[in-house]
Amino acid sequence: MSSVKDFQYVDEQFADIQLLHYKVAGFEDLPLAKKELIYYLTEAALWGRDILFDQNGRYNLRIRRMLEVVYTESREEDRESDDYKALEIYLKRVWFSSGIHHHYGCEKFVPGFSSVFLRAALDKLPLNLLPLAEGQTLDEFCEEIFPVIFDPNIAPKRVNQAEGEDLLLTSASNYYRNVTQKEAEAFYESQKNPIDPNPVMFGMNSRLVKEDGVIKEKVWKSGGLYTEAIDKILYWLEKAVKVSENNAQQQVICKLIEFYKTGDLKTFDEYSILWVKDVASLIDFNNGFIESYGDPLGYKSSWESIVNYKDIVATRRTEIISENAQWFEDHSPVDPRFKKEQVKGVSAKVITAAILAGDLYPASAIGINLPNSNWIRSVHGSKSVTIGNLTDAYCKAAHGNGFMAEFAYSQVELELIEKYDSLTDDLHTDLHECLGHGSGKLLPSVSPDALKAYGSTIEEARADLYGLYYMADPKMVELGLLPDMDAFKSQYYTYMMNGLMTQLVRIELGNEIEEAHMRNRALIANWAFEKGKQSNIVELIRKNGKTYVKINDYGALRGLFGNLLSEIQRIKSEGDYESARVLVETYAVKIDLELHREVKSRYEKLHLAPYKGFINPKYELLKNEDGRVKDVIIQYGEGYTEQMLRYSRDYSSLPSIND
């Protein structure tokens, strides 16, 4: 097992998926008590895994377990067939999606192996290894399960959103049984009290069923549905309570325990409020029923967990920027009439993920804002985080995949990007978020909506330009945010390359640019390219039949960014709709078809997977002879299959059938 020092982001790719390892920087240096707390919380996270499989579809656990047995127990000579290899891919996709439907598109996977192959493989295996229902023969099992896998008309979508159909009867997710959409809506409508200012989130922690004509909730709690998994989670949360960092955090964990024990939604709200208020603790976590994307009606929450701690260094970066917000505003190149006299930066917390689980694993969000209860958000606020070590892993992966090598002009640019890109990307995002959007002011009587449909593109361009302009300021080095005056060039290069060329890979040939962030990048890059043409500041060069961006004068490019920032601030401050329209329509919408075709064909040859996921590190608790905790060690480098099989073996909490 590799240590952090010789850490490598070893990737694995299959179907439309690429897996990345992420690094939990600083874990080794945490005090023992904090490592211990993280360990208990990661165990609580891993024990919930089976819940999501069952939530995503009632046959998922049986299918996963059956496939795992075929995969691991098949004889060596049977593993060479194309069917076996296709089954392996299918199983990897089932692990990735926590079920038989695509994690993003929700459509059912089409198996690349035949039912004849699967049946023959099952026939060779001992029956006691297979997830048969009580008293079920193998014939009966296959009759029940095979159509779910092989018949495209059965359970085609996990979540169906098509208007006009019964969204519950046509969705394969396991949140409702024998209940029509009308019945479910009526059931929850009747519980709502329209004058309650603090409504709980009805239905978020239960399956709604109709049994003997009666509609009722089967609540996910200790003693209820999923009790086997929840009791394991509780066991580890109880251990976590004893090593919590402080009183506030202890209360948070105790409330969560109470909620898992009672299933009471008022308790969940109390827990959410305590959680939002705990901002002093280093370690933070979620463990429970959180997001409702998996329910077409939006009541039911899928299970997920993340354990994390504050990235002090990265959070300090956002704090430094915010503390100096006034200096930046005073020195910006915009007309003093449009500057704020008093400006306040926004600081957001950057966190390091220690484990991902449930609906955050292996595919994960990189930013999270919770809780979801509307009234709690408006009364008590929310916590917003960026998961720094995941964005870092994405960034590192982008370097190794041939993308930069294909599109960067020469070794000089590649070396700049290699050295600085991760740092400058984060810093640009921070400047954009913490300063850019908050800078400048409207002249009195100018409406904030004056730029209408062009408003969001202009606003994003303003924030990006603020970041680009200051990225090249000596102040960055002075504040310790960048190491030297070469670093900004990496950001300038990738920004121009993206805006002029590479972002086009996401657009269909023949279409125009529509999305506001993409328009803003095209606007800035095309404008700077045009304005710098005469002095040859930025060039598009043809080499071996391919087009490349070359920047000849980085200092002059900064000057151009400053000019455009000044102009865009004027447009915004004066509400100059016509100028906004001309800028956007001239520089941000149209695409050179020939260049577009070239960029797309170069990209396709790289065979990059559109979806990414993460492999967790592995933690081990070491004890002294007297039973006291000695250390918690972290290990990287576990393979995807290895990890999934280990989880299935060591954290298999639920029975195969949960009715």
* Radius of gyration of the CA atoms of the chain, in A: 27
Q: To the nearest whole angstrom, how small is the minimum distance from the Cβ of residue 57 to Zn ion?
A: 37
The residue number with the shortest CB distance to Zn ion is 463
Q: To the nearest whole angstrom, how small is the minimum distance from the Cβ of residue 14 to Zn ion?
A: 34
**Token match 């300038």: residue?**
492
Q: Would strands 383-387 and 349-358 be described as parallel, antiparallel, or unpaired?
A: parallel
Q: Would strands 206-211 and 349-358 be described as parallel, antiparallel, or unpaired?
A: unpaired
Q: To the nearest whole angstrom, how small is the minimum distance from the Cβ of residue 68 to Zn ion?
A: 44
Output 121 or 524, the one with its CB closest to Zn ion: 524
Segment 514 to 573, residues that bind Zn ion, using CB under 5 A: none
Q: To the nearest whole angstrom, how small is the minimum distance from the Cβ of residue 456 to Zn ion?
A: 9
Pattern 570-609, Zn ion, x by CB under 5 A:
----------------------------------------
Q: To the nearest whole angstrom, how small is the minimum distance from the Cβ of residue 321 to Zn ion?
A: 15
3-state secondary structure of 470: helix
Size of the site for Zn ion (CB under 5 A): 1
Q: To the nearest whole angstrom, how small is the minimum distance from the Cβ of residue 104 to Zn ion?
A: 24
C-beta of residue 488 within 8 angstroms of C-beta of residue 471:
yes
Helix 60-73 vs helix 82-97: angle between axes, to the nearest 10 degrees? 140
Output 224 or 436, the one with its CB closest to Zn ion: 436
- Spatial separation of the C-alpha atoms in residues 34 and 157, rounded to whole Å: 42
375: nearest Cα among 188, 194, 203, 197: 197
Q: To the nearest whole angstrom, how small is the minimum distance from the Cβ of residue 432 to Zn ion?
A: 6
Output 21 or 462, the one with its CB closest to Zn ion: 462
Output 60 or 424, the one with its CB closest to Zn ion: 424
Output 448 or 480, the one with its CB closest to Zn ion: 448
- Spatial separation of the C-alpha atoms in residues 153 and 163, rounded to whole Å: 19
Q: To the nearest whole angstrom, how small is the minimum distance from the Cβ of residue 181 to Zn ion?
A: 37
CB under 8 Å to 560, separation ≥6 — which residues? Answer: 527, 528, 531, 532, 537
Q: What are the backbone dihedrals phi and psi of residue 271, each rounded to the nearest 5 degrees, phi first?
A: -60, -45
3-state secondary structure of 633: strand
Q: To the nearest whole angstrom, how small is the minimum distance from the Cβ of residue 523 to Zn ion?
A: 14
User: Can you read off the two tokens belonging to residue 589?
Assistant: 């919408």
- Spatial separation of the C-alpha atoms in residues 32 and 38, rounded to whole Å: 10
Output 434 or 463, the one with its CB closest to Zn ion: 463
- Spatial separation of the C-alpha atoms in residues 486 and 477, rounded to whole Å: 10
The upper half-sphere exposure of residue 38, i.e. CA atoms within 13 Å in the direction of its Cβ, equals: 30
3-state secondary structure of 315: helix
Sign, CA dihedral 399-405-406-412, equals positive
C-beta of residue 112 within 8 angstroms of C-beta of residue 122:
no
Pattern 418-457, Zn ion, x by CB under 5 A:
----------------------------------------
Output 122 or 458, the one with its CB closest to Zn ion: 458
Segment 455 to 474, residues that bind Zn ion, using CB under 5 A: 463
Output 397 or 463, the one with its CB closest to Zn ion: 463
Output 256 or 434, the one with its CB closest to Zn ion: 434
CB under 8 Å to 72, separation ≥6 — which residues? Answer: 645
Output 48 or 436, the one with its CB closest to Zn ion: 436
C-beta of residue 130 within 8 angstroms of C-beta of residue 122:
yes
Q: To the nearest whole angstrom, how small is the minimum distance from the Cβ of residue 460 to Zn ion?
A: 5
Residues in touch with Zn ion (CB under 5 A): 463
